[in-house]
Amino acid sequence: MVRVRDLSKAFGGNPVLEGVDLTVLEGTVTALIGPSGAGKSTLLRCMNLLERPDAGEIEIGSHRIDARSRFSKRQLYALRRETGMVFQHFNLFPHMSVMRNVVLPQQRILGRSKAEAEHRAQELLARMGLADKGGQYPNKCSGGQQQRIAIARALALEPRVMLFDEPTSALDPEVGAEVLEVMKELAAEGMTMIVVTHEMGFARNVCEDLVVMADGGIIEQGDPQRIMGDPSHPRTRSFLHAVLQR
């Protein structure tokens, strides 16, 4: 289970998250939507402590961190080990082959042997439809391929929860569809996922839970079909209207 309790974060006195509570059950997929500046990325980045929250609690599996009290590096790494993150701009390591991108973190973070890590990497790349890409460098791969490599890189560390921050926003729609397909398969296999997205089809058809954020808070949460069909908050209504217009 992933649980965020009363999470707050400000940047230079400017509150970006205010008392956010969110629970994500094991094996479910949660879509996080809302207008630009709502705090979606910040919430995601607080979950793996890329941003340090000012207050609140983050609990992932058996690891819990209270932002107000001190925590050790060891606790920080333990929490990060439970999460995998996929970014809008992939952020593959450009100076390493695709294979090494997926292998190196396994060696460094899990202490896997090279052979073991390569075996796992090959397995994951094959699952992403990229079995023959291991020897390439990332810049020789298309955007859709790069994003699937990034997913493989994160999965290779066996995270408990995968955090996606607009994974298809930098991609052409048809290429984005390939990535969404992979994510859908992951969901079907029972991976716990939190996905910031503007892909309403994905949110409606794949996600069990829809979370709508605005102005640093969650304004609505529940079954995606219900919320999309009958949003109760006026801001949800106008946001959905704006997104579906596009």
Ligand X SMILES: Nc1ncnc2c1ncn2[C@@H]1O[C@H](COP(=O)(O)OP(=O)(O)OP(=O)(O)O)[C@@H](O)[C@H]1O
∠ CA 21-25-26, nearest 5°, is 140
Contacts of range 138-142, beta carbons closer than 8 Å, 24 or more positions apart:
138/90, 138/92, 138/93, 138/94, 138/96, 138/98, 138/101, 139/94, 141/98, 142/175
Check residue 140 and report its DSSP letter: G
Binding mask 110-149 for other proteins (x = CB under 8 A): ---------------------------x-x----------
Site for other proteins in 29-58 (CB under 8 A): 48, 50
Among 41, 48, 147, 236, the residue binding Mg ion under the rule CB under 5 A is 41
- Tell me: does residue 74 bind other proteins (CB under 8 A): no
- Tell me: does residue 242 bind ligand X (CB under 6 A): no
- Stretches 86-94, 166-174, 193-201, 220-228: which one binds other proteins (CB under 8 A)? 86-94
- Which amino acid is located at 243 in the chain? V
- Stretches 53-61, 80-88, 127-135, 227-235: which one binds other proteins (CB under 8 A)? 80-88
- Binding-site partner at residue 74 among other proteins, ligand X, Mg ion, none, CB < 5 to 8 Å by type: none
Q: How far is CA 158 from the centre of its chain?
A: 14
- Tell me: does residue 245 bind other proteins (CB under 8 A): no
130-153 core/surface letters (b: 16 or more CB in 10 A; e: else)? beebbeebbeebebbbbbbbbbbb
* Residues lying near other proteins in the complex (CB under 8 A): 48, 50, 73, 77, 80-81, 83-85, 87, 89, 91-95, 104-105, 108-109, 137, 139, 150, 153-154, 157
